[in-house]
Chain A
């Protein structure tokens, strides 16, 4: 089993309302100097394959078809 971690992020320029809301919240508790807050999604799973290289095509297919929407999101696949 190969442990995979996928990071899904909104592409640069796509409005991230969660990030904006968190920034607003920080001001409320007196934390200053934080900006450009972006929120992504971390997905972990296991693939039945001998190594990371062998698992990568399936992980990529999973990302392209479901985990990320290519119009607004990019993703990064890692072996953990």
Chain B
């Protein structure tokens, strides 16, 4: 699988993508600098995490103006697969490729810890190979991860199976009002969404950081098939 991994000034998870999607699961990962207008005909575009443009103005707001995003938008509209992780999710929302926006965490704290999410849809390229309700234990590292959209958009997302992941307990229980499991205050405990067609996916957690037992307390049994399955699906 040919993977284009975007790099903006302030991106800092591009090496995590290279290691997980590339070194571990044999994807062919090529970094693409944000000034480039050429993605190089990939099978998948990854918009990695970090702090593009120092999060100035709003998270992802300035990154969406980079030349590479025109190419990503054309690629996505032609049905190409795009995934945004953490800051990459914020960028895809700002660029209008995914619905909604990520507000500051409701508890006003930067969340840097292991959390649980569960697979909520098979209606997209990123989780279609996973069993529904599979619980994944992986890190989050964000200040603006509080998913927000107007009530009509939320209703439409739920109706069309566009909620990809929800925050949950270790047992898989979802409770949007629970400040422990839904630690950032996201509406309906939404951790990730897709577009209607399922070829654009974004989420705040970092499953790509939990694909090896040594850094995931044995929970790589869930995150590993998630990422390896995406790479194998080209």
Q: Within the complex, which residue of A15, A21, A67, A69 is in contact with B94, where a contact is CB–CB below 8 Å?
A: A69
- Are B61 and A71 in contact, with the CB atoms below 8 A? no
Q: Report the Cα distance A72→B214, complex, angstroms.
A: 41
CA distance A20 to B150 in the complex (A): 21
A18 at the interface (CB under 8 A from B): yes
Taken together as a complex, chains A and B put the C-alpha atoms of A17 and B105 apart, in Å, by 8
Interface residue B128 (Cβ < 8 Å from any Cβ of A): no
Indicate if the CB atoms of B108 and A17 lie closer than 8 Å: yes
B104 x A18 contact (CB < 8 A): yes
Q: In this assembly, does B141 line the interface, its C-beta being within 8 Å of a C-beta of chain A?
A: no
The answer to whether residues A71 and B100 also contact, given A15-B106, A15-B185, A21-B108 and a CB cut-off of 8 A, is: yes
- Chain B 148-186 interface mask (CB, 8 Å, partner A; 1/0): 111000000000000000000000000000000000010
Q: Which residues of chain A (29-72) have a CB below 8 Å from chain B?
A: 66-67, 69, 71-72
Shortest distance from the beta carbon of A77 to any chain B beta carbon, whole Å = 17
A16–B15 alpha-carbon span in the complex (Å): 34
Alpha-carbon gap, A44 to B58, bound state (A): 17
Contact of A66 among B57, B103, B104, B108 (CB under 8 A): B57
User: What total of A-B pairs shows CB separation below 8 Å?
Assistant: 32
Interface residues of A in 1-43 (CB under 8 A from B): 14-15, 17-18, 20-21
Interface size on A, residues (CB 8 A): 11
Q: Please, how many angstroms separate the alpha-carbon atoms of A66 and B65 in the complex?
A: 9
Counting CB contacts under 8 A, is B146 at the interface?
yes
Contacts of A71 in B (CB 8 A): 100-101, 148-150
Q: Are A72 and B94 in contact (CB-based, < 8 A)? A: no
How many chain B residues have a CB neighbour from A under 8 Å? 17
Interface bits B102-116 vs A (CB < 8 Å: 1, else 0):
011110100000000
Shortest A73–chain B CB gap in Å is 8
Contact A17–B106 (Cβ < 8 Å): yes
> Which of A18, A21, A67, A72 is the one whose CB lies under 8 Å from B148?
A72
Q: Which residue on chain B has the smallest CB distance to residue A24?
A: B108
Partner of B103, one of A15, A20, A21, A67: A15
**Contact call A17/B104, Cβ cutoff below 8 A:** yes
> Given contacts A71-B100, A71-B101, A72-B101, are A66 and B61 in contact (CB under 8 A)?
yes
The answer for the CA separation of A72 and B150 in the assembled complex, in Å, is 9
Q: Beyond A21-B108, A72-B101, is A15–B146 a contact (Cβ under 8 Å)?
A: yes
Q: Name 29 interchain pairs, CB-CB below 8 A, sorted by A.
A: A14-B103, A14-B148, A15-B103, A15-B104, A15-B106, A15-B146, A15-B148, A15-B185, A17-B103, A17-B104, A17-B105, A17-B106, A18-B104, A20-B108, A21-B108, A66-B57, A66-B61, A67-B57, A69-B58, A69-B61, A69-B94, A69-B101, A71-B100, A71-B101, A71-B148, A71-B150, A72-B101, A72-B103, A72-B148
Closest 5 CB pairs of A and B: A17-B104, A17-B108, A71-B101, A21-B108, A72-B101
